[in-house]
Amino acid sequence: MSYVDEVIAGVKVKNAAEPEFIQAVEEVLESIRVVIESDEEKYRKLAFLERLTEPERIIMFRVPWIDDQGNVQVNRGYRVQFNSAIGPYKGGLRLHPSVYLGIIKFLGFEQVFKNSLTGLPIGGGKGGSDFDPKGKSDNEIMRFCQSFMTELYKYIGADEDVPAGDIGVGAREIGFLYGQYKRITNLYEGVLTGKGLSYGGSLARTQATGYGLLYLTQELLKLNGIDIAGKTAAVTGAGNVAIYAIEKAQQLGAKPVTCSDSTGWIYDPDGIDVALLKEIKEVKRARLTEYTAARPNAEYHEGKGVWNVKTDLYLPCATQNELPLEGAKKLVENGCIAVCEGANMPTTLDATKYLQENGVIFAPGKAANAGGVATSALEMSQNSERLSWTFEEVDAKLKQIMVNITHNIDNAARKYGMEGNYVAGANIAGFEKVADAMKAQGVV
C-alpha cells in the first residue's frame, strides 16, 4: 500500500466517529499525493503525514453558565491547536449546536493550509462550543462568553494562539470574550481578532472574508479569460461572509440574486438588496422571511435548493457540506461557470469531483475564504505596532493577498501537471511551506 493510502486508512480507524475530519484529510492527502510520492520513503521515515494529521494539542472543557431564568446550563468548549510550524495558532471560534470535536478538528486542519496560503506567519487552530446563540439574550451571550474565556485564557496569547470569529461569533461575542480575557490577565494585547474599532480592531476585517472571496473569484475568472462584470451569482448564507460577498459582487458589476439561512432561501430576480439584508441580519437578527415582506418581486422558499436557480456563478457561504452531488448536477445542467467557496468545505467530495470533471472552475474554501484570516493577521500586525491603518490600506493589502493566492494555486497546479485543478493547487501550495518548516524543526 502506498504511504498516503496507509495514512488515510489509519486516520479513518483512529477518527472513525469524525466524518468531517476524515473528509478534510482525504481531500488534502489525495491532492498532495504527487508531492509525497516523489520522495515517499523520506516522508514515511519521518512519519510526516501521521504528524500532519494529528493536532499538536486538543483542549476540551466544561462551560457552565446561568440563563435568564436562573437555571444552570452546561456546554462543552473546544480549542484544537493543530499546527504551529509557521506561526502562532490562528483560527476562529464557532458557536453552533452541531459543534463537536470532529467539526473543530476538520476546521483546524483546513486552517493550517489556508493560513499558509496567505503567505503570512500564522499556524492553524480552531475552537468553539455546542452552545446555540439563537434566541439567547445579550446577557446570556455575555455570561456564556465570560465562562468560556475563563477556561480558554490559559491556553491563548498574542504570540501563542489568537482566536477570531466564525459561525455564531461576531463583534458582540468577540467584545465579551476580550473583556473577560483582559479582566483575568490584566493584559491589553492582541489576543483576539475581529475586535471593535475602539479597542484594537482593524478596519475592513468585517468585510474581509466576503470581499476576499470576490477578489479571488474575479482574478480566477480573469485567468480563464472571463469578466466578472455582468455575471449573475447565487450566494448561500446570510451571515458575515454572505453579506459582504454580495456587497462586493455588486461593486464588481455582478448581480447576486439569492441568499439563504438555515430555514430557507430567497430568490430576488432584481438582485439582492444588501442594505435590507444587513438590516434584517445584522441589526434585527431576524429570519429571512422578513426580506420578502419588503421586496414584493422576491420569492421565499423553505428548506434547501439555491442550486436550482440558473446563475453564472455559485458562491456557497453558509456551512460545511451544504452543496451535495444533486446540487452540483443541477449547476452543471444550468451552465454554471464557477463555484467559489466562501464557507469552509461547503461542497461534498463527490460534488466537487463532479463539478471539476464537468469543466466548472472550482475554488476551494481554503484559498477562496482566506481573506478573513489574512486580514486578522493584518489586525495582529497593527496591534503589535500600536497603529491603525486606513480602510483603503487594509483593503488594498487584502486584494493583493487574494490575487497572490490565485496565482500561487494556479502555478502549483501547473507545476504538478494538473492545470486548472485549483483544489490540488491550493493543497499543494499550502502544504509546501508547512512541510518545509516542519522538516526544519525536527521531530516535534
Binder of ligand NDP out of 241, 309, 339, 377 (CB under 6 A): 241
Q: Does 93 bind ligand NDP (CB under 6 A)?
A: no
Give every strand in the sheet of 161-164, ordered side by side: 57-66, 72-83, 123-129, 89-95, 161-164
Of 110 and 410, the one with the shorter C-beta distance to ligand NDP is 110
Q: Does 23 bind ligand NDP (CB under 6 A)?
A: no
Q: Binding to ligand NDP (CB under 6 A): which residues in 145-184? A: 165-168
CA distances (Å), 303 to each of 250, 265, 290, 308, in order? Answer: 26, 7, 16, 12
Q: Does 262 bind ligand NDP (CB under 6 A)?
A: yes
* Contacting range for ligand NDP; rule: CB under 6 A; set: 196-204, 317-325, 393-401, 419-427: 317-325
Q: Does 202 bind ligand NDP (CB under 6 A)?
A: no
Q: Rounded CA gap, 161 and 126, in Å?
A: 10
Q: Where are the alpha helices (DSSP H) in 47-90?
A: 48-52
Question: Any bridge partners for residue 83, and if so which?
Answer: 124
Side-chain half-sphere of 180: how many Cα atoms within 13 Å?
20
Q: Does 129 bind ligand NDP (CB under 6 A)?
A: no
Of 146 and 369, the one with the shorter C-beta distance to ligand NDP is 369
Q: Rounded CA gap, 33 and 3, in Å?
A: 9
Active-site residue among 90, 105, 114, 126? Answer: 126
Q: Does 238 bind ligand NDP (CB under 6 A)?
A: yes
Binder of ligand NDP out of 115, 217, 218, 369 (CB under 6 A): 369
Q: Does 261 bind ligand NDP (CB under 6 A)?
A: yes
CB of 315 to ligand NDP, least distance (A): 11
Q: Does 344 bind ligand NDP (CB under 6 A)?
A: yes
Q: Does 258 bind ligand NDP (CB under 6 A)?
A: no
CB of 319 to ligand NDP, least distance (A): 4
∠ CA 187-188-191, nearest 5°, is: 90
Of 33 and 399, the one with the shorter C-beta distance to ligand NDP is 399
Burial (Cβ within 10 Å: 0-12, 13-18, ≥19) of residue 303: exposed
CB of 428 to ligand NDP, least distance (A): 21
126 is catalytic: yes
Of 22 and 288, the one with the shorter C-beta distance to ligand NDP is 288
Binder of ligand NDP out of 35, 317, 377, 438 (CB under 6 A): 317
Chain-centroid distance, C-alpha 435: 22
Q: Which of 423, 288, 319 is nearest to 363 (CA)?
A: 423
Of 102 and 239, the one with the shorter C-beta distance to ligand NDP is 239
8 Å CB contact between 210 and 239 = no
Chain-centroid distance, C-alpha 420: 22
Q: At what angle do helices 422-440 and 391-415 cross, to 10 degrees?
A: 100
Q: Rounded CA gap, 186 and 66, in Å?
A: 25
Of 8 and 95, the one with the shorter C-beta distance to ligand NDP is 95
Tell me the catalytic residues. Answer: 126
Residues near ligand NDP, by CB under 6 A = 96, 98, 165-168, 209, 237-242, 261-263, 317-319, 342-344, 369, 372
